[in-house]
Every structure is written in structure tokens, then in C-alpha cells.
Structure 1
Amino acid sequence: MFSTATLWIPFTIVASLGQVARNAMQRSLTGPLGTWGATNIRFLFGFPFSLVFFAVVLTISGDHLPRPAASFWPWLALGALTQIIGTGMMLVAMNDRSFVVTTAYLKTEAIQTAIFGFVFLGDQLTLMKVVAILIASTGVIVTALRFGGERSFAELRPTVIGLVAAAAFALSAVGYRGAIITVQGVSFVTAATYTLVWGLFVQTVALTIYLLWRAPKILSAIVGMWRPSMLAGFMGAFASQFWFLAFALTPAANVRTLALVEVLFAQAVAYYSFKQPISARELGGIVLIVIGVALLVAPGSALRLR
């Protein structure tokens, strides 16, 4: 009999691949559009694709239009607004440090997601999960930190921004999972896609209003760059669709820890697209990340802490 219990694993892998591609596209648009203009790309051009996804899901599943509980909306707001903050800060950090190292900073969100999920949603932590998160997070730190030399504020700035961005993304993951699990009476695919539609709608409206108020010329520039923006928007919606499917099936901490494989994908993008080499230390950190991820998806990870 078919089981959805482990579907979150391939969903997360696909989402990670899509996110690396989207991040690379957004990074290239930061110059002409600025940080918040490039941030709005994923929402403004991703929203129409989410509507298409939702229409397809409703047609195939035969589900009715969901009517979520009142608690859906504050969870959705938490997920949507903290994701805007995290995305903007991520792009700032990427302009100050290498693509792969910034991605490593962002992946510290795994342990923060575990903590937030435990506190706010009561998600279970298990012995194997805790070990996996600690090992993988250590790998992230080894990959990201540079040793030796003087540390000025200018040098520490991208580190601080990257870590705060990770906290914002951790809160976003918990918020979105909280919203998805309140949608009852439909399949997990419909609940996830419905949440994606509303999340992108809130983000599009919020950031577009901000840009109209503070930088209307940026919106004109976005329209002028609609072709690369459309592709970035599609990749953003595509990646988010699979993130949400994974969140519907398992605690956000599981998803975000497995998502540390994104560091491997980011390294490939950095090497082939941005010509950024990898050091022996970064390789060692990546090995730890792989070990942590392997422990996370191992069958024995279901042992609960008492």
C-alpha cells in the first residue's frame, strides 16, 4: 500500500534544487533592481504560478475550496512577513560574501527551526534528530567561518545579517507549517497549495505597497525586466510548492535539516556560474552536513526523547 510518510524527503530535495536556482537568479537581479526589488520578484511573479498550481491541484484532487480555521491567518502572516525579511537580508548578505558561504549561514536555520517548532507547535524532537541537527549545524559553521586575520565590523556585518536572515526563515517555516496544519477536510496537497497562494498574495501586496511608497521607479524597472523576473518567479513558486508539501507531512525541523543539502547544490552553482572556488575547510564542513542529513533520514531517527 502506498504511504506518504517519507514523501517529504524527495519533496525537500526538489525544493532545495529549485531554491538554489531561484537564489542565483535573484542575486543577478539585485544590481539593477536593488535588494527589495529583487526580493519582490519571487512574490510578484511567483503568485500567478501559484494560482495555476492550485487550479491544477483542485482539478486533480476533486477537493472543495478550503475553509481554514481562524488560526490559519496569524500563522500565515508570521510565515509570509518573516520570509520577506529573511529574503531581503539574504540578498544583502550575498552581495557581501560568496554565494556558497552565505547559503551556509542561512542553513543555521535548521536548529532554530527545531527550537521554534518545539516551542510554538509542540513538534517532537527525537534523539537522532537532535544529533543530526547538531552535526549538520557544526558542518555549516565549519563551512562558513573564516579563521585568522582581523575582524572589522564590515567583515562581521554579512555574518550577522546571514544569521538573522536564518532566524527569520526559521520563523517563516514554523509559521507556514502552523498554517498548513489548520487546513482540514482536504488532502495535504490542497492544504499546502492553498497556503502557498495566500502566502504569496500577502507578500506581493505588502512589498508592492512598500515599493510604491518608497521606490516607485523600482516597480517600473521590474516590469521592464519581466523576462528574467518571470523565470525567477516561477522557480520561486516551484520551490515553495515543494517546501509546503514537505511541511504538510513532517515537522519543519526535519525539512530544514534535510535542506542542508542545498549547500552542496549552492557550491555547484558557485563553482560553475560564479567561479568561486571551494577550500578544504569548506569541503570538511560539507562532509559533516552530509553525515547529519544521513542520520536525519535514517530509520532509527524515530526514537523520541523522554
Structure 2
Amino acid sequence: MSAHLWILASLLAGLFQAWRTALQQRLRGVLSVSGAGLVRYAFGIPFAALMAGAYLTVTGQGFPALSPHYLMLAAGAGLAQILGTALLILSFGFRGFVVGTAFSKTEALLAALASAMFFSERLAPIAWAGIAVGVVGVMLLSLPEERSPAALLRNVVQPAALCGLGAAALFALTGLLVRQATIALHTHDPVAAALVTLLAVVILQTIMHGAYLSWREPATWRAIGRNWRNSTLVGLLAAAGSACWFTGFATAPVALVRVVGQVEVLFTIGFAHLYLAERIRSREAGALLMIAFGVVLALLSQL
């Protein structure tokens, strides 16, 4: 298996996630924040099961045993992703699709710090530089037109920033827990571990989130049913994107996967312009160059 599989997985994950988030934002017009988040898990189960089943069958592997420790890690990852997704969708309502995504992209830096502190993962200095450059690039997308210190401070403490930063922390935690879950499966095949973990996570997410929705927003189930076509496409893209993310997490440090996956911002701006009709600002060109440079530095660290 290629040692650089995580690079292709990270790039594809960025594409699928940007496409899925754009569709999910359109669902936000007819569903609640909670309902728009649930569809990615509930409608992703059939596709996750198909991918895991097909891969295990083709490679001649049986379904691995799932220990209580593994299930706790998978449930923790699922809950962190549920909460992070809710905060990300909520941030869209304050400053727009592109900016909400930009705030959440600080997760690469948070994942790197947490990996170093709690899991003793060491990154080369050039990788840290790539993470820093990428984070600065995505944060450029959120700067206000006014550049005074007071305006910059307001930009950091506004609701969109707080929601985006909260989502970033939760997504970083998701990646770290998924990586630990794939390790806990004790399988020699990281792709199999990633796909099995994806299936376990989306099932647990549907149970947790579905129970909450039934309790607090039972009417949302009917709205989801009325929008089953868009919800199915969201589920497909979510499953495909998560399969790529999980494969990356299983084969490389989470922080590196996340910084390469920041190409999502490029796709996000394209979808926001073409699919959501949001205007692209001239400042975004410089931000995209910084993000691309950060990705290149992260890749060079692995050569």
C-alpha cells in the first residue's frame, strides 16, 4: 500500500467536504441546524456500509471485533463531530458560507498541538511552518474591511468566530479520536480500519443525534423526509468525504492530513461563487496562495 495514500485521501476529502457542505447549507433553508447535521450521518449509513462491505470482501478480510474501548472512542469521535458540525452550520448564518468555513480551519493547528501534547506525535519544523501558513491563509478570509485594532478584536469575538473556533476544536478532537480508534482495531490494513470505523461512527451518530431530534424536534423528521433527494446526496458526499478523512487519519498524523485537506477552502470558494451565488472578494486570491503554500510545505515535510 502506498506510503503517500494519505495525500490523495486528504485532497479528495477536501473536495467531497466542500461539495457536501454547500449542499448542506442549502438544506439549512428548509431544516433546522440539528436536522441539516443529522442527514449527513443517517443518509450516509448505506454508503458507509457498502464501502466497508465491498472493501472487506474484495480483500478477503472478515469484519473485525469491536471492543468496548474501541466503541467508546468511536462514540466520542461521533459526538465531537455532531457538535462541531452544528457549530459550523450555525456560523454560516452570521457571516456567510466561506467565512464560517475559514474560522473552522484552525483545526489543523489545534490538532497538531493536541497530538504533540497528548499522543507524542512529532512533526518536522517545515510541517509546523506549513500548518502556520495555512492557518494564516484561511484566517485572511475572515478579516473585516476595517483594519483597526478594535475592529480586529470584534472580528475575533463575534458569534461567527466563536462558533467557527469551537467547531475547529471539536473537529480536531474528532480526528484524534478516529486515529486512536483505527489503532485500537489492531488490523494490518489501515483502509479497512478506516472504513469499519466510519461505519461504526455514523451508526452511533445516527442513534445519538436521532434520539435528540426525536426528543426536541420531532417535526424535523417529516421535513427530512420531504427533502430525501438532497439528503441522500448529502449522505453520499459525507460518506465519501469521511472515508477519505478516516483513511488519512489512519495512515498519517492528523495535523498533516488536516493541513493538506485545507484545499477544501479552494473548492469552498468555488462552490460559494457558483452554487450559492456569494461574491468572491479580491483578498481571497492572496489567502488561497498562502493556503497552497502551506499545503506544499506540509507535503515537503514527508519527502
Q: TM-score range by the shorter chain?
A: over 0.9
Choose the corresponding residue for 1:113, options 94, 111, 114: 111
Choose the corresponding residue for 2:250, options 248, 255, 280: 248
- SS of the counterpart of 2:30? helix
Which residue number corresponds to residue 269 of structure 1? 271
Structure 1 residue runs of 4 or more that deviate by more than 4 Å after TM superposition: 149-155
On the 8 A contact 1:143/1:283 being kept in 2, the answer is: no
Task: State the superposition RMSD in angstroms.
Answer: 1.8
Distance of 1:208 and 1:275 partners within structure 2: 32
Distance of 1:59 and 1:37 partners within structure 2: 34
Deviation at 1:78, TM superposition (A): 2.2
Q: Does residue 218 of structure 1 match 2:220?
A: yes
Q: Deviations over 1:30-84 (max 9, x none)?
A: 1211100000000010012111111101111111211245432332122111100
Which residue number corresponds to residue 229 of structure 1? 231
Which residue number corresponds to residue 171 of structure 1? 173
Q: Deviations over 1:256-292 (max 9, x none)?
A: 0001111111011111112222223222111111111
Which one-letter code corresponds to 2:92 in the other structure?
M
Q: Deviations over 1:186-205 (max 9, x none)?
A: 41111111100110011000
Choose the corresponding residue for 1:260, options 247, 259, 262: 262
On the 8 A contact 2:155/2:161 being kept in 1, the answer is: no
TM-score by length of 1: 0.93
TM-score by length of 2: 0.94
Deviation at 1:295, TM superposition (A): 0.7
On the 8 A contact 1:143/1:286 being kept in 2, the answer is: no
On the 8 A contact 2:108/2:258 being kept in 1, the answer is: yes
- Listed as ranges, the gaps of 5+ residues in structure 2 are none
Which residue number corresponds to residue 89 of structure 1? 87
- SS of the counterpart of 1:122? coil
Which one-letter code corresponds to 2:109 in the other structure?
I
Which one-letter code corresponds to 1:247 in the other structure?
F
**Number of residue pairs the alignment of both structures matches:** 299
Which residue number corresponds to residue 159 of structure 1? 161
Deviation at 1:106, TM superposition (A): 1.2
Q: Does residue 136 of structure 1 match 2:134?
A: yes
On the 8 A contact 1:39/1:87 being kept in 2, the answer is: yes
Which one-letter code corresponds to 1:9 in the other structure?
I
Which one-letter code corresponds to 2:108 in the other structure?
A
Which residue number corresponds to residue 46 of structure 1? 44
% identical equivalent positions = 34
- SS of the counterpart of 2:31? helix
Deviation at 1:6, TM superposition (A): 0.6
Q: Deviations over 1:130-189 (max 9, x none)?
A: 111111111112122214187569981111111111111111111111111111134111
Distance of 2:231 and 2:170 partners within structure 1: 24
Distance of 2:9 and 2:281 partners within structure 1: 30
Which one-letter code corresponds to 1:99 in the other structure?
F
Which residue number corresponds to residue 15 of structure 1? 13
Deviation at 1:226, TM superposition (A): 1.0
Distance of 1:95 and 1:186 partners within structure 2: 44
Which residue number corresponds to residue 206 of structure 1? 208
On the 8 A contact 1:109/1:167 being kept in 2, the answer is: yes
Distance of 2:287 and 2:250 partners within structure 1: 30
Which one-letter code corresponds to 1:57 in the other structure?
Y
Which one-letter code corresponds to 1:173 in the other structure?
G
- Listed as ranges, the gaps of 5+ residues in structure 1 are none
- Give the 3 Å change call, closer, same or farther, for CA 185–259 of structure 1 in structure 2: closer
Distance of 1:86 and 1:138 partners within structure 2: 21
Deviation at 1:95, TM superposition (A): 2.0
- SS of the counterpart of 1:32? coil
Of stretches 12-21 and 60-69 in structure 1, the one that deviates more from structure 2 is 60-69
Which residue number corresponds to residue 57 of structure 2? 59
Q: Deviations over 1:15-37 (max 9, x none)?
A: 11111111011101112111000
Map 1:71-86 to 2 at 5 A: 71-86=69-84
Which one-letter code corresponds to 1:73 in the other structure?
L
Distance of 1:267 and 1:48 partners within structure 2: 30
On the 8 A contact 1:101/1:143 being kept in 2, the answer is: yes
Which residue number corresponds to residue 28 of structure 2? 30
On the 8 A contact 1:87/1:165 being kept in 2, the answer is: yes
Distance of 1:88 and 1:42 partners within structure 2: 12
